[in-house]
Amino acid sequence: MNMFNPPHPGAFIKEVFLEPYGISYRTVAAKLKVSPSTFQRLIKQQSNITPEMALRLSKTLGRSPESWLIMQDNYNLWQAKQYLNIDEVEKLAIPV
The mean pLDDT of the chain is 95
Average pLDDT over residues 38-45: 98
Residue 36's pLDDT band (cuts 50, 70, 90): very high
Identify which of 41, 42, 50, 44 has the alpha carbon closest to the alpha carbon of residue 68: 50
> How far is the C-alpha of 87 from the C-alpha of 84, rounded, in Å?
9
pTM: 0.87
Tell me: the pLDDT tens digits for 51-90? 999 999 999 999 999 999 999 999 999 999 999 999 999 9
Does the pLDDT value for residue 2 go beyond 70? no
Q: Where are the domains of the chain?
A: 9-82
The sign one gets for the Cα dihedral 36, 38, 43, 49 is negative
Could you tell me the fold of the domain covering 9-82?
434 Repressor (Amino-terminal Domain) (1.10.260)
> How far is the C-alpha of 5 from the C-alpha of 23, rounded, in Å?
26
> How far is the C-alpha of 16 from the C-alpha of 44, rounded, in Å?
14
